[in-house]
Amino acid sequence: MNDHPYGWFSLLPPLVAIVLAMVTKRAALSLLMGILCGALITNGGDPIGALVDFCEVHLWPTLADPGKLRIFSFTLLMGAMIGVISRSGGMLGLIKLISPIAKTRRGGQLTTWMLGLVVFFDDYSNTVLLGGTLRPLCDRLKISRQKLAYIVDSTAAPMASLALLSTWIAVEIDYIAEGLGDIEGANVSRAMELFIASVPYRFYAILALGMVPILALMGRDFGPMLKAEKAVVAGSDQRQDDPGSIADPLTEPTAAASWRVAVVPIAVTLAVVIALLYATGTASLRSGSSEPSGDTPPLRDILGAADSSLALQYGALMGLATIAVICLTRKLLTLQQIREASWGGMKIVLPAIIILWTASALSRLTSGKSVDGQSGTAYEFQDHRLYTGQFVAETILSGARVSPEDDSASPSHSVPMVVRLLPTIVFLLAAVLSFSTGTSFGTMGLLMPMTLTLTAPLIGLLPADASTVDALTHPLMLATIASVLSGAVFGDHCSPISDTTILSSQACGCDHMEHVLTQMPYAVTAGTIAIVAGTLPIGWGIDWGWLILIQAMLLVGVVAIVGKRTPSETSD
């Protein structure tokens, strides 16, 4: 292993950003300080060089990245569309349509959760669309903005990571394929097979999705979320009427309410996104194929190869154009009112874009990638990259490596123990990396190849009656693959510098650090159960079906024992 250029100092920038964010509750400023700290490290403490890199190497290239620009554009357009829908009365009409289903706080939470499952194909779409659409409904039902942000965040990434048709699938399968390419005799084309086979082992993602309806049905909360819910029910949470909150431009519709005004542009957005995902995915597969074929590729492959950022951008643009045409043709709003509503919606999401920008810059700083792509040699870009993930991974996983002497020796208790604990070790490592870097995709990309190449030879150390003919489909291998994917989502949920966490709080009109602090106890609860009744026992051969049943029982038990009812739940 090559000597890391910065060692423990590579952890300092994300730690600075996280600690400052918790203390000051100013995410963007904290992220900027983290970036500046990292620039000082890579420049050997030279303040002039650090300032130049701060602007020209970290902030500007991140802002100018085409993929990021499309995501920023999508966020602005979605904010504008939601602003016009609300001003035209569409949001109020949609609330009236849903009202018979969501008459109580319990019904409102379950409705939000079910809609989150419906918008499964992309986490950004899920977050921005549902957060902006359901705020007025949750306000009316006295569901706190913190609870709304938690529900939205807990359905966005977990659902997109599990779905067989989502914008995540290309990234996840590609990372698995990279790992298979480093295993002697493994077929890279089996990446999709392993992805699907690992789904039942993604215990945290499953628990995160299941915890929302359990909390709603039992009418219980705990930790800071309980305090937030009680404050809303008691009417002491003034944030609902704060002029600076997201609700400001959305609370005074100028026209009679009609649910169609809201549903039609949203449906157009979803239709265009799906159509463009299909079109760009098909084009990408055909351009990458050396032998043209008349057969249509599988839908999973098409969606996996699609350009999701392009699809999201133009989907939101068409949605905004649709609501503008509806308002003009039906004389719901004038052109000037449409402009005002659009600008009002855009202003709402501007803080999210700034935080996304700075979080992405910090993520790149801590990575091993440069503007031109992944490093070809060890620490090639150490003059402007910290390789934080590599340091943490090599430090933690080095103890799990098996020497040649161990391979030839008779089976001992120590080596199989390391193998059996591998899913848990990898889950915790993925969570730490995702938490400290704020990116689940980056965590997956770093750990997946390393994990596959490490796990494949270790499977052979298990007793003969506990191993299978094919090491790639062994439950421990599948559980370890799942631990990378699920652990990355867990750390992402807990991290204050995560893009989806930031988008959730901004889209739902919730203070960002309050969202982090209220969601964290729930995420940690699900993560702990995922380890105790998931990654640990799976190492001793317990079937995943029994484990999911046990996890559900434990989750219900924890909520029943620790959780307390909010006053209004007694009347639901």
Check residue 208 and give its pLDDT.
Answer: 94
- Rounded CA-CA distance 162/168 in Å is 9
Helix/strand/coil for 220: strand
Q: CA 169, 370, 128 angle in degrees (round to 5)?
A: 45
Strand partners, 565: 220
- Rounded CA-CA distance 138/529 in Å is 29
Check residue 537 and give its pLDDT.
Answer: 93
Using 50 as the pLDDT threshold, list the residues of the chain that sit under it: 1, 240-251, 400, 402-415, 464-468, 570-572
CB atoms within 10 A of CB 286: 12
Helix/strand/coil for 369: strand
Question: Tens of pLDDT along 351-381?
Answer: 667 766 877 787 778 776 665 555 556 677 7
Place of tokens 């009744």: 533
Least Cα distance to 431 among 489, 478, 507, 482 occurs for: 489
The amino acid at residue 442 is G
Place of tokens 């080095």: 398
φ, ψ for residue 384 (rounded to 5)? Answer: -145, 10
Check residue 205 and give its pLDDT.
Answer: 93
Check residue 224 and give its pLDDT.
Answer: 92
Rg (CA), the chain: 24
Longest dimension (CA), the chain: 82
Strand partners, 374: 369
Structure tokens at 297: 């590729």
H-helix or E-strand spanning residue 476 = helix 475-494
CA distances (Å), origin 555, targets 157, 486, 564, 565: 20, 17, 14, 16
Residues 6 or more apart whose Cβ sits within 8 Å of residue 287: none
Judge whether 366 and 14 are in contact, CB under 8 Å: yes
Least Cα distance to 474 among 422, 429, 523, 515 occurs for: 422
Question: Tens of pLDDT along 284-334?
Answer: 888 766 555 556 777 767 766 777 778 878 988 999 999 999 999 988 888
H-helix or E-strand spanning residue 144 = none
Burial class (CB in 10 A: 0-12, 13-18, 19+), 546: exposed
> How many residues does this entry show for the chain?
572
- Rounded CA-CA distance 523/483 in Å is 15
Q: Domain ranges for the chain, please list them.
A: 7-64+367-374, 67-168+246-356
